[in-house]
Copies of this chain bind each other. A is one copy, B any other.
Amino acid sequence: MKNAKISNAVINRLPRYRRYLLELQKKGVEKISSKEFSSLIGYTASQIRQDLNNFGGFGQQGYGYSVEGLREEIDAILGLDKEYRMVIIGAGNLGQAITKYTQTIKGGFKISGVFEKNKELIGNMLEGIEIMDYEDIVDFVEKEKIDIGIICVNRESAQEVADKLCFAGVKGIWSFARVDIEVPKHVALEVVHLSDSLHTLAYRMNDIKKSGTRKNKEDKKE
Protein backbone atom coordinates (compact mmCIF):
# COMPACT_ATOMS: atom_id res chain seq x y z
CA MET A 1 0.00 0.00 0.00
CA LYS A 2 1.51 3.34 -1.03
CA ASN A 3 0.07 5.24 1.89
CA ALA A 4 3.14 7.44 2.35
CA LYS A 5 1.46 10.63 3.50
CA ILE A 6 -2.28 10.17 3.58
CA SER A 7 -4.14 13.16 4.96
CA ASN A 8 -6.29 12.94 8.07
CA ALA A 9 -9.25 13.90 5.91
CA VAL A 10 -8.90 10.71 3.84
CA ILE A 11 -8.29 8.52 6.88
CA ASN A 12 -11.31 10.01 8.61
CA ARG A 13 -13.47 9.26 5.56
CA LEU A 14 -12.53 5.56 5.40
CA PRO A 15 -14.78 4.43 8.28
CA ARG A 16 -17.64 6.26 6.58
CA TYR A 17 -16.96 4.54 3.26
CA ARG A 18 -16.94 1.28 5.18
CA ARG A 19 -20.33 1.91 6.81
CA TYR A 20 -21.93 2.53 3.42
CA LEU A 21 -20.32 -0.57 1.95
CA LEU A 22 -21.67 -2.65 4.85
CA GLU A 23 -25.15 -1.31 4.18
CA LEU A 24 -24.78 -2.12 0.46
CA GLN A 25 -23.63 -5.65 1.32
CA LYS A 26 -26.68 -6.09 3.57
CA LYS A 27 -28.81 -5.07 0.59
CA GLY A 28 -27.04 -7.68 -1.54
CA VAL A 29 -25.39 -5.12 -3.83
CA GLU A 30 -22.29 -6.71 -5.37
CA LYS A 31 -20.67 -3.87 -7.27
CA ILE A 32 -20.96 -0.10 -7.40
CA SER A 33 -19.50 2.64 -9.59
CA SER A 34 -17.84 5.67 -8.07
CA LYS A 35 -20.76 7.65 -9.54
CA GLU A 36 -23.42 5.54 -7.78
CA PHE A 37 -21.32 5.55 -4.60
CA SER A 38 -21.07 9.33 -4.89
CA SER A 39 -24.83 9.82 -4.99
CA LEU A 40 -25.14 7.63 -1.88
CA ILE A 41 -22.37 9.00 0.33
CA GLY A 42 -22.39 12.58 -0.89
CA TYR A 43 -18.75 12.94 -1.90
CA THR A 44 -17.94 13.60 -5.57
CA ALA A 45 -17.08 10.57 -7.70
CA SER A 46 -13.61 11.98 -8.35
CA GLN A 47 -13.09 12.50 -4.64
CA ILE A 48 -14.00 8.87 -4.01
CA ARG A 49 -11.63 7.63 -6.73
CA GLN A 50 -8.90 9.92 -5.40
CA ASP A 51 -9.38 8.76 -1.80
CA LEU A 52 -9.30 5.07 -2.69
CA ASN A 53 -6.35 5.54 -5.04
CA ASN A 54 -4.31 6.52 -1.99
CA PHE A 55 -4.30 2.85 -1.14
CA GLY A 56 -3.70 1.60 -4.65
CA GLY A 57 -6.91 2.00 -6.63
CA PHE A 58 -9.30 -0.94 -6.44
CA GLY A 59 -11.98 -0.18 -9.00
CA GLN A 60 -11.76 -1.38 -12.58
CA GLN A 61 -12.67 0.97 -15.43
CA GLY A 62 -16.23 0.38 -16.54
CA TYR A 63 -16.81 -2.19 -13.86
CA GLY A 64 -16.79 -0.17 -10.67
CA TYR A 65 -15.92 -1.41 -7.22
CA SER A 66 -16.66 -4.82 -5.79
CA VAL A 67 -18.64 -3.92 -2.66
CA GLU A 68 -17.40 -6.86 -0.62
CA GLY A 69 -13.87 -6.60 -2.00
CA LEU A 70 -13.61 -2.90 -1.26
CA ARG A 71 -15.04 -3.34 2.22
CA GLU A 72 -12.52 -6.08 2.98
CA GLU A 73 -9.72 -3.89 1.64
CA ILE A 74 -10.82 -1.00 3.85
CA ASP A 75 -11.08 -3.35 6.83
CA ALA A 76 -7.50 -4.42 6.16
CA ILE A 77 -6.34 -0.80 5.72
CA LEU A 78 -8.03 0.23 8.98
CA GLY A 79 -6.70 -2.87 10.69
CA LEU A 80 -10.19 -4.14 11.52
CA ASP A 81 -9.13 -7.64 10.54
CA LYS A 82 -7.20 -7.78 13.82
CA GLU A 83 -8.12 -8.16 17.49
CA TYR A 84 -7.52 -5.32 19.94
CA ARG A 85 -7.28 -5.68 23.70
CA MET A 86 -8.35 -2.57 25.59
CA VAL A 87 -8.43 -1.23 29.12
CA ILE A 88 -10.62 1.58 30.39
CA ILE A 89 -9.23 3.94 33.01
CA GLY A 90 -11.83 5.68 35.12
CA ALA A 91 -15.01 4.02 36.38
CA GLY A 92 -16.91 7.21 37.13
CA ASN A 93 -19.91 8.41 35.10
CA LEU A 94 -17.78 8.97 32.00
CA GLY A 95 -16.04 5.59 32.32
CA GLN A 96 -19.35 3.84 32.93
CA ALA A 97 -20.86 5.49 29.85
CA ILE A 98 -17.90 4.69 27.61
CA THR A 99 -17.62 1.10 28.89
CA LYS A 100 -21.29 0.59 28.07
CA TYR A 101 -20.90 2.29 24.70
CA THR A 102 -17.72 0.46 23.73
CA GLN A 103 -19.44 -2.85 24.34
CA THR A 104 -21.96 -1.91 21.65
CA ILE A 105 -19.15 -1.49 19.06
CA LYS A 106 -18.81 -4.51 16.78
CA GLY A 107 -15.51 -5.97 15.65
CA GLY A 108 -12.32 -7.14 17.32
CA PHE A 109 -12.32 -4.57 20.12
CA LYS A 110 -12.39 -6.27 23.53
CA ILE A 111 -12.35 -4.61 26.96
CA SER A 112 -9.96 -6.64 29.14
CA GLY A 113 -10.18 -4.51 32.26
CA VAL A 114 -11.45 -1.35 33.93
CA PHE A 115 -9.19 0.56 36.32
CA GLU A 116 -10.02 3.14 38.97
CA LYS A 117 -8.21 5.09 41.70
CA ASN A 118 -11.24 5.44 43.98
CA LYS A 119 -10.89 2.58 46.49
CA GLU A 120 -14.67 2.55 47.03
CA LEU A 121 -15.26 1.46 43.42
CA ILE A 122 -12.42 -1.08 43.19
CA GLY A 123 -13.79 -4.64 43.26
CA ASN A 124 -17.23 -3.64 42.00
CA MET A 125 -18.44 -5.00 38.67
CA LEU A 126 -18.98 -2.68 35.69
CA GLU A 127 -20.79 -4.17 32.70
CA GLY A 128 -19.60 -7.60 33.79
CA ILE A 129 -16.00 -6.48 34.20
CA GLU A 130 -14.34 -6.24 37.59
CA ILE A 131 -13.06 -2.76 38.46
CA MET A 132 -9.37 -3.09 39.33
CA ASP A 133 -6.93 -0.91 41.24
CA TYR A 134 -5.27 1.75 39.07
CA GLU A 135 -2.05 0.98 40.95
CA ASP A 136 -1.86 -2.34 39.09
CA ILE A 137 -2.38 -1.00 35.57
CA VAL A 138 1.22 -1.14 34.33
CA ASP A 139 1.60 -4.82 35.25
CA PHE A 140 -1.78 -5.62 33.73
CA VAL A 141 -1.09 -3.84 30.43
CA GLU A 142 2.28 -5.60 30.14
CA LYS A 143 1.01 -9.06 31.17
CA GLU A 144 -2.20 -8.95 29.11
CA LYS A 145 -0.50 -7.29 26.11
CA ILE A 146 -3.08 -4.50 26.01
CA ASP A 147 -3.16 -2.57 22.72
CA ILE A 148 -5.41 0.38 23.56
CA GLY A 149 -5.97 2.44 26.69
CA ILE A 150 -9.27 4.30 26.92
CA ILE A 151 -8.94 7.36 29.15
CA CYS A 152 -12.11 8.33 31.03
CA VAL A 153 -10.64 10.30 33.92
CA ASN A 154 -10.92 14.01 34.74
CA ARG A 155 -8.80 16.60 32.97
CA GLU A 156 -6.39 16.86 35.88
CA SER A 157 -5.39 13.18 35.77
CA ALA A 158 -5.57 12.59 32.01
CA GLN A 159 -1.93 13.31 31.11
CA GLU A 160 -0.58 11.26 34.03
CA VAL A 161 -2.75 8.32 33.00
CA ALA A 162 -1.62 8.67 29.39
CA ASP A 163 2.04 8.71 30.46
CA LYS A 164 1.52 5.56 32.52
CA LEU A 165 -0.26 3.77 29.65
CA CYS A 166 2.48 4.71 27.19
CA PHE A 167 5.15 3.58 29.65
CA ALA A 168 3.32 0.28 30.04
CA GLY A 169 3.41 -0.15 26.25
CA VAL A 170 -0.02 0.50 24.77
CA LYS A 171 0.04 1.18 21.01
CA GLY A 172 -2.92 3.51 21.03
CA ILE A 173 -4.86 5.82 23.33
CA TRP A 174 -8.55 6.68 22.92
CA SER A 175 -9.19 9.64 25.18
CA PHE A 176 -12.52 11.01 26.35
CA ALA A 177 -10.90 13.29 28.91
CA ARG A 178 -11.93 16.91 28.44
CA VAL A 179 -8.39 18.09 27.85
CA ASP A 180 -5.86 17.53 25.08
CA ILE A 181 -3.01 15.21 25.99
CA GLU A 182 0.39 14.42 24.53
CA VAL A 183 1.87 11.00 23.76
CA PRO A 184 5.16 9.76 22.27
CA LYS A 185 5.40 9.56 18.49
CA HIS A 186 5.18 5.75 18.51
CA VAL A 187 1.76 5.80 20.19
CA ALA A 188 -1.41 6.58 18.24
CA LEU A 189 -3.83 9.03 19.80
CA GLU A 190 -7.47 9.74 19.10
CA VAL A 191 -9.17 12.31 21.29
CA VAL A 192 -12.97 12.46 21.40
CA HIS A 193 -14.69 15.61 22.57
CA LEU A 194 -18.33 14.60 22.31
CA SER A 195 -19.43 17.93 23.68
CA ASP A 196 -17.84 19.59 20.62
CA SER A 197 -20.41 17.77 18.52
CA LEU A 198 -23.24 19.04 20.73
CA HIS A 199 -21.82 22.57 20.56
CA THR A 200 -21.64 22.33 16.77
CA LEU A 201 -25.27 21.24 16.76
CA ALA A 202 -26.18 24.27 18.89
CA TYR A 203 -24.41 26.50 16.37
CA ARG A 204 -26.28 24.95 13.44
CA MET A 205 -29.64 25.34 15.22
CA ASN A 206 -29.03 29.02 15.85
CA ASP A 207 -27.61 29.48 12.36
CA ILE A 208 -30.80 28.02 10.87
CA LYS A 209 -32.94 30.21 13.11
CA LYS A 210 -31.08 33.28 11.82
CA SER A 211 -31.12 32.34 8.15
CA GLY A 212 -34.19 30.15 8.00
CA THR A 213 -32.39 27.22 6.42
CA ARG A 214 -29.42 24.94 6.77
CA LYS A 215 -26.19 26.07 5.15
CA ASN A 216 -23.92 23.14 5.81
CA LYS A 217 -24.15 19.40 5.39
CA GLU A 218 -23.40 17.70 8.66
CA ASP A 219 -21.56 14.50 9.39
CA LYS A 220 -18.82 15.46 6.96
CA LYS A 221 -15.95 16.84 8.91
CA GLU A 222 -13.27 17.09 6.26
| A140 touches B (CB below 8 Å) | no
Cα A98 to Cα B96 with chains together (Å): 10
Nearest B-chain residue to A209, judged by Cβ: B171
With A14-B199, A97-B101 already in contact, the answer to whether A188 and B205 are too (CB < 8 A) is yes
* Residue-wise interface mask of A (195-208) relative to B, using a CB-CB cutoff of 8 A (1 in contact, 0 not): 11111111111111
Partner of A203, one of B79, B94, B98, B197: B79
| A132 touches B (CB below 8 Å) | no
Contact (Cβ within 8 A) B213 A185 = yes
Copies of this chain, tallied across the complex:
2
| A104 touches B (CB below 8 Å) | yes
Contact (Cβ within 8 A) A202 B104 = no
Contact (Cβ within 8 A) B189 A208 = no
Contact (Cβ within 8 A) B94 A104 = yes
Contact (Cβ within 8 A) B214 A180 = no
The count of chain A contact residues (Cβ–Cβ below 8 Å) is 78
| A143 touches B (CB below 8 Å) | no
Cα A56 to Cα B147 with chains together (Å): 45
Q: Which residues of B contact A28 (CB under 8 A)?
A: none
Partner of A8, one of B94, B192, B216: B216
Contact (Cβ within 8 A) A196 B79 = no
| A190 touches B (CB below 8 Å) | yes
Contact (Cβ within 8 A) B198 A109 = yes
With A216-B11, A222-B222 already in contact, the answer to whether A194 and B93 are too (CB < 8 A) is no
Query: A: which residues have CB within 8 A of B?
Result: 3, 5-9, 11-12, 14-16, 18-19, 23, 77-80, 82, 84, 93-94, 96-98, 100-107, 109, 147-148, 171-172, 174, 178-180, 185-209, 212-222
